[in-house]
Structure 1
Amino acid sequence: MPMKQLEYHTIKEIFTRFQTAEAEPKGELDHVNAYTLVVAVALSAQATDKGVNKATNALFKIADTPQKMLDLGEEGLIEHIKTIGLYRNKAKNVIKLSQILVDDYDGEVPSSRAALESLPGVGRKTANVVLNMWWHVPTQAVDTHIFRFGNRSGVAVGKDVVAVERAIEDHIPAEFQQHAHHWMILHGRYTCKARKPLCSTCLIRDLCAFEEKNFD
């Protein structure tokens, strides 16, 4: 790793199969609006989606807007998210970004990447997730699953997450760009696993460039 970049026609066939298997892949973080999506994604850093959803289930019932989150306060927020890693720092960031949204954006989540990335605790990946899932911009949020799958399979080869993001944009056909990162995340999470990929049941095993396929 990294592997050799696959050819266009092979990548098109891979995503055609992904699309046939699941035409409308969805992100697995629970949210009710753009604000709760920002919070959920920010909380998900170095945590599982399942763990975040468990913590936010009750939280978003009482704090689904920036002002409600400010009313809850940092200590109140901590009580809801203390099962999540780095919860104290994340709580500080959520309160700070909520204050900025109230002060500078009338409580609304901005739809520009630059504005999103200026919020505390919101990096490029979080901004891309929000732009893609809420505003349906064909952005690519590269996490560890996508980075591993992209390089291992040859679908999107790059030495860092920005390079992989660029490779997705450059090599995956335009008609698949909207859902590309969701297909890749789900495939990396459930099939192309880090330690023991499930190559025997993989729907693209005949197209993948990974030479050390596992058929146990």
Structure 2
Amino acid sequence: MSTVLAGHGLVKKYGSTTALAGVDVEVGERDSLAIMGPSGSGKSTLLHTLAGIVRPDGGQVLLRGERVDDLGEDRLSALRRTRFGFVFQSGQLLPELPVEENVALPLMLEGMPRTQAVERARRWFAPLGLDGLERRRPGQLSGGQAQRVAIARALVGEPEVVFADEPTGALDQRTSTEVVQLLTFATRDTGAALVMVTHDPDIAAHCDRVLQVRDGLISGHNQYTAV
């Protein structure tokens, strides 16, 4: 399995606090990696550093062997839009747009005409159980439906890596299981790698591998057969 994303010797400090203390991590094609750890362990900082949201103070982030952490802000922003996808705990859908345009938004931001972008976005509705919701507004969706829309938006641009930060944190257990199954299956199906932060071991068990982070260091690494 070829490596898609790697972090080597990642260091990140916030004042006198060391969030990452020299972390090494690699993620391959169709690989799904859960990052776990107690509050303040550095797990979210690790995800944000790999995703180009936070710049490391030391070390490197490589996407298919090319360094990306030292890119200028414009190029880094373009990379996040085109080669990465994101699913956050709150979904972060735009309330004024119908669901189909929320999903199509990354394509439209890259200049694709609305009609074409919406047509491509609609291809995700059946696989993710969203048929019939195309014209609804986010405020008319349940929490589980909103996260399915967020997954569709993350995948519509055919990213190489999808980052998910506590994507089931606001959902009940049954809905959480449904959402993480859709997320892991959909990323594998498209060939994207998945990097997910979660506090829930049952959710983490749906990933191929689990990294335990403590005090800014990898404290454990487990490999599972995906559920």
TM-score tier (shorter)? under 0.3
Higher RCO (CA < 8 A, seq sep 6+): 2
- 1 or 2, which has the higher strand percentage? 2
TM normalised by structure 2 equals 0.27
- 1 or 2, which has the higher helix percentage? 1
- For the pair shown, the structure with the greater C-alpha radius of gyration is 1
